[in-house]
Amino acid sequence: VPFGPWSGDVADHLIRYTRGGFLPGMITRAEGSFVHDADGRAILDFASGQMCATIGHNHPAVVQAMRDAAGEPLHLYSNMLSPAVVELAVELAGMLPPTLQKAMFLSTGSESNEAAIRIAKLHTGGFEIIAMGHSWHGMTAASNASTYSGARKGYGPAMPGTMALPPPNGYRCPIRHCAGTCDTTCLDVGFEMADMQSVGAFAAVICEPVLAAGGIVVPPEGYMRRLREHCDRRGLLLIFDEAQTAFGRLGSRFVFEQQDVVPDILTLSKSLGGGLPLAATITSAAIEADVHAKGFHFYTSHISDPFPARVALTILKLIEAERLVDKAKADGAYFMDGLRALQQRYETIGDVRGLGLLVGVELVEDRASKKPATALAPALVRRCYELGLQTTQSGAARDPASGAVWKLAPPLTVTRAELDQGLEIIDRALGELTG
Q: Would you give the binding string for ligand PMP spanning residues 138-157, x where CB under 6 A is met?
A: x-------------------
282 binding ligand PMP? (CB under 6 A):
no
Comparing CB distances to ligand PMP, the nearer of 110 and 314 is 110
Are 148 and 398 spatial neighbours (Cβ–Cβ below 8 Å)? yes
126 binding ligand PMP? (CB under 6 A):
no
Choose which of 110, 259, 392, 394 interacts with ligand PMP (CB under 6 A): 110
Comparing CB distances to ligand PMP, the nearer of 138 and 422 is 138
Long-range contacts of residues 21-29, Cβ cutoff 8 Å, at least 24 apart:
23/385, 25/1, 26/1
Choose which of 212, 236, 255, 361 interacts with ligand PMP (CB under 6 A): 212
136 binding ligand PMP? (CB under 6 A):
yes
Closest distance between ligand PMP and the C-beta of residue 111, in Å? 7
Comparing CB distances to ligand PMP, the nearer of 211 and 414 is 211
399 binding ligand PMP? (CB under 6 A):
no
Choose which of 208, 264, 331, 362 interacts with ligand PMP (CB under 6 A): 208
Residues composing the chain? 435
133 binding ligand PMP? (CB under 6 A):
no
Closest distance between ligand PMP and the C-beta of residue 195, in Å? 26
**Residues forming a β-bridge with 101:** none
348 binding ligand PMP? (CB under 6 A):
no
273 binding ligand PMP? (CB under 6 A):
no
109 binding ligand PMP? (CB under 6 A):
yes
302 binding ligand PMP? (CB under 6 A):
no
Distances (CA, A) of 182 to 190, 271, 365: 15, 30, 23
Closest distance between ligand PMP and the C-beta of residue 294, in Å? 25
Choose which of 108, 162, 348, 391 interacts with ligand PMP (CB under 6 A): 108
Q: How far apart are CA 206 and CA 214, in angstroms?
A: 14
Number of residues that bind ligand PMP (CB under 6 A): 14
Closest CA to 150 of 171, 175, 133, 168: 133
Choose which of 65, 205, 207, 213 interacts with ligand PMP (CB under 6 A): 213
Closest distance between ligand PMP and the C-beta of residue 41, in Å? 26
Q: Given the rule CB under 6 A, which of 53-61, 178-186, 237-245, 303-311 is the region that contacts ligand PMP?
A: 237-245
Crossing angle for the helix pair 416-434 and 324-345, to the nearest 10 degrees:
30
Instruction: List residues near ligand PMP by CB under 6 A.
Output: 108-110, 113, 136-138, 208, 212-213, 241, 243-244, 269
